[in-house]
Structure 1
Amino acid sequence: MKAVDEPADGEAASLGPGFMLWQTTNGWQRAIRAALQPTGLTYVQIVLMAGLKDKLAEGPPVSQAALAHALGADPMMTSQVLRTLETGGLIKRERNQADTRSRLLALTADGAAKLAAALPLIAAVDTEFFDVLGRREERFLKAMRRLWRKQRLPGLASEPSAPPPKPVPAKKKRPGGRKTAPAG
């Protein structure tokens, strides 16, 4: 009998650690989707709501950009998912009065309730899925954390910077070639 760590007869040959990570991730995602199906939420939605809850506990306000940065998430994907959560009444997004290009976030009571119902489902999947690691789970988690920190999205290594300044309107040419001062 072969050990769990060795390829089984008829099993496709591993193409290296990336292949194994991909296969493992696919299995975990199937389990998570099945567990979360009754909630109507996706794992990404729960990650964003849980991250928002944690950031709000540190002290509001929380912007979309700060949430995306804290989670190492793509800002555009974060914005799209947050819009869906807002449409579902699970979060609120309001314009930041200090910077109208920024959105400040809040978790609604319905969002907090759905999140509270979903988190134990995720914990149960994680417990069952990673049980095979036994005492090695903490070591595995540390290795995954190192990989994640090394491979975070470009530009996310530091805190988000202030938004770029608004562009200054170009000077307009008057008939005859003379320039005028910028409008506004």
Structure 2
Amino acid sequence: MTKVFRSQYADNHQESTGFLFAKVYNDWHAKVKNTLKDVDLTHPQFIILSSLGALELQRDLISQVNLATFSDMDVTTVSQVLKLLLKKGLIERREHPKDSRTKVIFLTDSGREHMNRALPLVEEIDQTYFGQLGEQVTDFNQLLIKLEEMNG
């Protein structure tokens, strides 16, 4: 059998932006996941709690769709994560005061506590991990923002 590997990067995988990005993301993500275990949260749960906390600063009533849009997660995933957070007592769902078809989501005191314990842990990982770039971290962030704007 002839060995075939039809990649333009077969001779140098470090030229593959996607492969490099995946490797870096997987390394960073593993650190975040391991740290979040200490506060009994998964990464998606952390994203939803911190998104909810950030959205609360902007508006009083937050729907599942608002959360999905803000966190850039699909509505089905957000729904599944919210069910788990509800079981853990970290969020509450209430009927929207003006639209009975819509539920609004609130952090409970316990949810806020979990979020505020997790935020500095994850932010420390970010600062340590990406801080290795030194002054280039600002350029890196600007490139990520540009990609998000172009594709979001």
Shared fold per TM-score greater than 0.5 = yes
Q: Does 1:91 align with 2:84?
A: no
Aligned length in residues: 141
Shift of 1:97: 4.7
More helix by share: 2
Where 1:106 maps in the other structure, the secondary structure is strand
Alignment-mate amino acid for residue 106 of structure 1: F
TM-score, length of structure 2 as denominator length:
0.85
Match of 1:72 in 2: 72
CA RMSD of aligned residues (A): 1.5
Alpha-carbon spacing, 1:80–1:15, altered in 2? closer, same or farther (3 Å): farther
Give the Cα separation in 2 of the matches to 1:70 and 1:132. 28
Give the Cα separation in 1 of the matches to 2:15 and 2:100. 48
Cα deviation 1:128-152 (Å, max 9, x = unaligned): 1112211000110111111122223
Give structure 2 stretches of 5+ with no counterpart: 1-11
Shift of 1:19: 0.7
Match of 1:43 in 2: 43
Match of 2:7 in 1: none
Alignment of 1:1-184 (within 5 A): 13-14=13-14, 16-152=16-152
Give the Cα separation in 1 of the matches to 2:103 and 2:151. 27
Runs of 4+ in 1 over 6 A off after TM superposition: none
Q: Is the 8 A contact 2:96 2:104 kept in 1?
A: yes
Shift of 1:16: 1.2
Identity of aligned residues (%): 27
Give the Cα separation in 1 of the matches to 2:63 and 2:39. 26
Q: Is the 8 A contact 2:64 2:105 kept in 1?
A: yes
Shift of 1:15: 5.3
Farther off after superposition, 115-124 or 71-80: 71-80
Shift of 1:96: 2.5
Give structure 1 stretches of 5+ with no counterpart: 1-11, 153-184
Shift of 1:117: 0.6
Q: Is the 8 A contact 2:13 2:19 kept in 1?
A: no
Farther off after superposition, 51-60 or 20-29: 51-60
Shift of 1:83: 1.1
Alignment-mate amino acid for residue 58 of structure 1: Q
Q: In terms of Rg, which structure is larger? A: 1
